[in-house]
Amino acid sequence: MKPEIYIKDLSKHVGKEVTLKGWLYNKRASKKVKFLILRDGTGYLQCVVFVGNVTDEVFALADNVSQETAFEVTGIIKEDTRQVGGFELDATDVKLIGESEDYPITPKDHGIEFLIDNRHLWLRSKRQVAIMKIRHRIAKSIRDFFDSRDFTLFDPPIITPNASEGTSTLFEMEYFDLGKAYLTQSGQLYAEAGAMALGKVYTFGPTFRAEKSKTRRHLTEFWMVEPEMAFYNLDDDMDLAEEMLEYIVKSVLKDNKAELEILERDISKLEKIERPFPRLSYSDAIEMLKEEGHDVEWGKDLGAADETIISSKYDKPVMVHRYPAESKAFYMKRDPENEKLALCVDVLAPEGYGEIIGGSQREDDYNKLLGRINEHKLPVDFFKWYLDLRKYGSVPHSGFGLGLERTVTWICGIDHLRETIPFPRMIYRNTP
């Protein structure tokens, strides 16, 4: 039953007869010949059904197949450089597998709401297939990167008793007789326990934020990779982030040329992503914004507009470090040279894509961390285990979180996160 050959492997079958299975992507027709564009998830192939080469029934079927009809086609593979993919099939037989009547997404333009309502079908379009393939490549390159550097994949819980990234974006649930529980905002706190056990770990999974804002950069469910390393300081952390980003971009450039072309991505922009990346302190970033006449105040986190201005100065990701501690999470270590600053970094993608990574060196002193937990009015009881990590063999350690969808959005050069995850979840949408 399963296909023996896929479109991506056709170069091995030139001049031979093959049978392929898939769906009708598009069709052109004249009286004597029907051109059926087959898609099978690995590529697209023009199948030429000529009236003299097939039975009358088969020719009638080729005439009737409609968009997204599933079918099987047999014929000889010819090299044809004019065609997408470089091949064409001269059909000798066509068999119907599954009909498709009135497929809702036609080649004409549809509004975005209509497309998202039909996300389960929209995923079949050329552009969406290209984005999903790049997403897959990015996820795989991330795993390859860490796996080949002695990191252990470490899976944190999804259901957690407390916040890690501030209480304003928590998704709440009733957890049996134990009161409230929350969907995880980040695996980091657990990854820290992992780093103390295994040295270098990374988490990679879904995370949740009840983001009340309707922006193109926010999903309520998104995937994050979070490496955490014992004995790394902030500089080591930034070096790793930089090396990882370069590796990801190079992997996509190597393996996804065809997909980047479908997306009309300006590849020259990606080719510039090479180490070293510019590093800029938060205070210098504020100075830079002020010099440009922007109304900014030292002390506040940078907004999306500020990030766009900063990143537009460079053609590489820029690493902004040492933000005012007040504007950042409770677990960040303070800069010994200036207690007002946190030893943290945000990496801003070029071309105005904004923050893709947030990371920091973690507070490793028991009493200081306890003080922060209290200052932030967090429930100390739930952090007892986290404080233990500072009680039994505490060491300097650091890590960061890379948002997968933001990274895919940037590398694909598209303008909204909703196309980078199979079924996006946003404040106003949880279907299909």
Query: For binding to Mg ion (CB under 5 A), which residues are involved?
Result: 358
Terminal Cα-to-Cα distance of the chain (whole angstroms): 30
Query: CB-based burial of residue 180 (10 Å sphere; 0-12 exposed, 13-18 middle, 19+ buried)?
Result: exposed
Q: Which does 44 bind (CB under 5 to 8 A by kind): ligand 4AD, Mg ion, none?
A: none
**Which range binds ligand 4AD by CB under 6 A, 119-127, 280-288, 319-327, 350-358?**
350-358
Q: Which does 211 bind (CB under 5 to 8 A by kind): ligand 4AD, Mg ion, none?
A: ligand 4AD
Q: How far is the CB of 185 from ligand 4AD (least distance, A)?
A: 6
Choice between 62 and 347, CB closer to ligand 4AD: 347
Residue 205 Cβ, how far from ligand 4AD at the closest point, in Å? 12
Question: How would you class 260 by CB atoms within 10 Å of its CB: exposed for 0-12, middle for 13-18, buried for 19 or more?
Answer: buried
Interatomic CA distance for residues 278 and 292, integer angstroms: 19
From the list ligand 4AD, Mg ion, none, pick the one residue 401 interacts with, judged by a Cβ distance below 5 to 8 Å according to partner type.
Answer: ligand 4AD
Q: Which of 40, 72, 117, 211 binds ligand 4AD (CB under 6 A)?
A: 211
CB of 367 to ligand 4AD, least distance (A): 22
Check residue 356 for interaction with ligand 4AD (CB under 6 A): yes
CB-nearer residue toward ligand 4AD: 39 or 209: 209
Tell me the three-class secondary structure of the chain, residue by residue.
Answer: CCCCCCHHHHHHHECCEEEEEEEEEEEEECCCEEEEEEECCCCEEEEEEECCCCCHHHHHHHHHCCCCCEEEEEEEEEECCCCHHHEEEEEEEEEEEECCCCCCCCCCCCCHHHHHHCHHHHCCCHHHHHHHHHHHHHHHHHHHHHHCCCCEECCCCCEECCCCCCHHHCCEEECHHHCEEEECCCCHHHHHHHHHHHCEEEEEEEEECCCCCCCCCCCCEEEEEEEEEECCCHHHHHHHHHHHHHHHHHHHHHHCHHHHHHCCCCHHHHHCCCCCCCEEEHHHHHHHHHHCCCCCCCCCCCCHHHHHHHHCCCCCCEEEECCEHHHCCCCECEECCEEEEECEEEEEECCCCEEEEEEEEECCCHHHHHHHHHHCCCCHHHHHHHHHCCCCCCCCEEEEEEEHHHHHHHHHCCCCHHHCCCCCCECCECCC
* Smaller CB separation from ligand 4AD, 122 or 232: 232
Please name every residue paired with 275 in a beta bridge, in sequence order, or none if there are none: none
Query: Which CB sits closer to ligand 4AD, 58 or 378?
Result: 378
Determine the interface stretch with ligand 4AD among 30-38, 287-295, 308-316, 351-359 (rule: CB under 6 A). 351-359
CA distances from 150 to 153, 362, 429 (A): 10, 21, 39
The residue within the footprint of ligand 4AD, chosen from 141, 188, 361, 409 (CB under 6 A), is 188
Kindly state the greatest CA–CA separation across the chain: 85
Looking at beta carbons only, is 43 or 358 nearer to Mg ion? 358
Stretch that binds ligand 4AD, among 83-91, 153-161, 259-267, 397-405 (CB under 6 A): 397-405
Q: Which does 350 bind (CB under 5 to 8 A by kind): ligand 4AD, Mg ion, none?
A: none
Q: Among 43, 156, 317, 359, which residue sits at the site for ligand 4AD (rule: CB under 6 A)?
A: 359
Q: Which of 23, 190, 323, 400 binds ligand 4AD (CB under 6 A)?
A: 400
Euclidean distance between CA atoms 137 and 177, whole angstroms: 42
Stretch that binds ligand 4AD, among 1-9, 22-30, 246-254, 393-401 (CB under 6 A): 393-401
Draw the binding track, 216-255, toward ligand 4AD (x: CB under 6 A; -: no contact).
--xx--x-x-x-----------------------------
Interaction between residue 350 and ligand 4AD (CB under 6 A): no
User: Does the protein bind ligand 4AD through residue 209 (CB under 6 A)?
Assistant: yes
Which one among 358, 369, 390, 397 touches ligand 4AD, defined by CB under 6 A?
Answer: 358
Q: Which does 357 bind (CB under 5 to 8 A by kind): ligand 4AD, Mg ion, none?
A: ligand 4AD
Residue from 22, 324, 401, 424 binding ligand 4AD (CB under 6 A): 401
Residue 399 contact, options Mg ion, ligand 4AD, none, Cβ 5-8 Å cut-off depending on partner type: ligand 4AD
Q: Which residues bind ligand 4AD (CB under 6 A)?
A: 164-165, 186, 188, 209, 211, 218-219, 222, 224, 226, 355-360, 399-401, 403, 405-406, 417
